Structure 1
Amino acid sequence: MRRSLFLIILAVLSGCAGRHNWLASAGEEAHRVEELFWVLLVGAAIIWTGVIGAAVYAQRRQIDPSLEKQARRFIVWGGAVLPTVLVGGLLIWGLVILRDITSDEGDLTIRVDGERWWWRVIYETPEGDVVTANEIRLPVGQTALFRLTADDVIHSFWVPALGGKMDMIPGRETQLALTPRKTGNWGGLCAEFCGGAHALMRFDAIVMEEADFEAWLAHEAEPAEVAESDPGYTVFDEEGCGACHTIRGTEAEGPVGPDLTHLAAREKLGAGIYEMTPDNMARWITDTHEMKPDIDMPPYPDLSGARLDQLVAFLMSLD
């Protein structure tokens, strides 16, 4: 019994640390949800103690007909009026939080489209849209308004340390506001089962100082620096990669897969799964479905030797 209790406590506490931490909040919205959670937990404990205590007291006390009126009063006030007031108050509080996190205003607007099984990310700026994928960067202290859609099936956008989750529904746009309060790299994920690679549909949510974010966004908006004589780009073009992927500044304008313009500047590969290293990049090209089952990108097992090395070097230069 003690061992089982210890394992249960350990499993619960495992959610209190790490990149997907949902109890030590790093965002304004997550902090408010955390407050609501603790109030509900303490309130539930008090109510449970009161109910069990009343039951034990009633069981041990002898029946006294003269106390029937008091018992009825206790049932009405303790069993109906008080719970109604408490639940109503908590409902109103929860609706206020929901109103705030679904606000239609923010300091910046980011469109996120959930696809199987990756994230298309578009920053709306006065100069035009800035497109990236599988990584979201945010300025600390500013409210980001996310406009969420889905391309195929229902997904759910969730960064536990920054705020609540929001479903992404095909043919419909939902909204979520997040205001990060701490810099750092926080884990994001899809919280709605969406098919075979659902558990591998993640992303990094990187919170930066405002000046660093502005510099990053300005760089992200620039086209890639690619020499047409680059042998790696030649391999990229000959293998038909540009039919699915876009590299701004080149003839590759494929709308199907993730934008690769600044691929190597991202910290992760494969929608938040693998570190961005040359070895992982080579494996991703040749053993795609081994690294992430069920995705649409076909593997290129026959690509090897110098041609593979040149393609990997080219892709790792896109920073």
Structure 2
Amino acid sequence: MGQQLHRAPMRRLRRAALVATMGALVLLAGCSAQTQDEWKNLAMPDPATEQAVHTFELWRWSWVAAMITGVIVWGLIGWVVVRYRRKHDDEIPVQTRYNLPLEIFYTIAPIVMVVVFFYHTVNVQNIVLDDTDQDQTIEVVGQQWSWTFNYRLDGSTDGPVVWTSGTGSQIPTLVLPVDQTIQFNLTSPDVIHNFGIPAFLMKMDVIPGRTNHYEVTPTTTGDFVGKCYELCGTYHSRMLFNVKVVEQAEYEQYLSDLEDQGNYSEEPLLGGNFVNEQAGLDDHSEEEAE
């Protein structure tokens, strides 16, 4: 009778583990290919820039460290449960207090882990925020509620620009050359926004009255998405933009096309036509409601 009582919790534990495994398999089976890739990367997209690789490696090895720690802790919990379980109803387990070596270990070990994480985090931060000799400079303006991209001509840092801007009815596209180092200078004329591209594994606040900046070096051509990560007002959810990484010749042709369209200025455009096309949002809202 006693053996049956001890076996009952184990049967329930095995049954719960089986149900959890089956549930996880069902969820993974319903995921898209992109989502499955992100799960393979521990919920991260494939890094698409030289800088993003460092962020991805930090994320991956942090997960490895966390899983190793978890396995050790779960193993110790299981060992204690089995080793020191009550074998008889009238038995009182041994009570242990003031175990100095154990107390020193569980105090020092977490401190060491935090120091190691801090060290590698600072290293990666220094790498992704390092200023180099950029090939292109793009003045990014976040305004309620869209984006304006000013491309400095001839790779200059203070020369004339060609620009493109989103409106209430049009999501702008940011075009970047592959294998070129691009510096984003981030400014805002109104409130705080946040400029981020998931595949680049980087985002940064866009703050009125100051210019933040960071660099990326795309390593693969293709289409990506970007958005504002800071709640910035009524239509924050529409602060989206597309990203297209192309070959250098196609990038130069794109800038030439913008200039031919009249999107040329001696100074960066500090805001687009979003407010003037508020009706575009209302039209979209009606379409979505239908």
**Does TM-score exceed 0.5, indicating one fold?**
yes
Deviation at 1:159, TM superposition (A): 0.6
Query: Deviation string for 1:210-267 (max 9, x for gaps)?
Result: 222122223323344xxxxxxxxxxxxxxxxxxxxxx669xxxx97534xxxxxxxxx
Q: Indicate the residue corresponding to 1:121 in structure 2.
A: 149
Q: Indicate the residue corresponding to 1:86 in structure 2.
A: 113
Change (3 A) 1:22 1:68: closer
1:289 aligns with 2:268: no
Q: Please give the root-mean-square deviation of Cα atoms over the aligned residues, in Å.
A: 3.4
Return the alpha-carbon distance in structure 1 between the equivalents of residues 62 and 234 of structure 2. 35
Return the alpha-carbon distance in structure 1 between the equivalents of residues 146 and 75 of structure 2. 51
Q: Of 110, 114, 132, which aligns to 2:164?
A: 132
- 2:58–2:124 Cα contact (<8 Å) kept: no
Partner SS for 1:165? strand
Spell out the pairing of 1:1-319 with structure 2 (5 A cutoff): 2=20, 5=24, 15=35, 22-62=44-84, 72-77=100-105, 79-105=106-132, 106-125=134-153, 126=156, 128-133=160-165, 134-224=172-262, 257-258=272-273, 288-291=281-284
Deviation at 1:7, TM superposition (A): 7.1
* Matched letter for residue 100 of structure 2: R
Return the alpha-carbon distance in structure 1 between the equivalents of residues 136 and 179 of structure 2. 12
Return the alpha-carbon distance in structure 1 between the equivalents of residues 61 and 33 of structure 2. 18
Return the alpha-carbon distance in structure 2 between the equivalents of residues 120 and 135 of structure 1. 9
Q: Indicate the residue corresponding to 2:6 in structure 1.
A: none
Return the alpha-carbon distance in structure 1 between the equivalents of residues 278 and 145 of structure 2. 16
- 1:27–1:178 Cα contact (<8 Å) kept: yes
Change (3 A) 1:153 1:188: same
Change (3 A) 1:213 1:58: same
Return the alpha-carbon distance in structure 2 between the equivalents of residues 12 and 85 of structure 1. 39
Return the alpha-carbon distance in structure 1 between the equivalents of residues 261 and 280 of structure 2. 29
Change (3 A) 1:73 1:188: same
TM-score (ref. length: structure 1)? 0.63
Return the alpha-carbon distance in structure 1 between the equivalents of residues 32 and 250 of structure 2. 36
Partner SS for 1:26? coil
5+ residue gaps, structure 1, are 225-246, 259-269, 271-283, 294-319
Partner SS for 1:257? coil
* Matched letter for residue 161 of structure 2: D
Return the alpha-carbon distance in structure 2 between the equivalents of residues 98 and 91 of structure 1. 10
* Matched letter for residue 131 of structure 1: W
Deviation at 1:83, TM superposition (A): 2.7
Query: Deviation string for 1:82-139 (max 9, x for gaps)?
Result: 3323322221221222222223332211111101111011112345222222221111
Change (3 A) 1:48 1:25: same
Partner SS for 1:175? strand
* Matched letter for residue 181 of structure 1: T
Partner SS for 1:192? coil
Q: Indicate the residue corresponding to 2:9 in structure 1.
A: none
Identity of aligned residues (%): 27
- 1:162–1:179 Cα contact (<8 Å) kept: no
Deviation at 1:8, TM superposition (A): 6.2
Query: Deviation string for 1:254-287 (max 9, x for gaps)?
Result: 97534xxxxxxxxxxx8xxxxxxxxxxxxx8965
What is the total number of aligned residue pairs between the two structures? 238
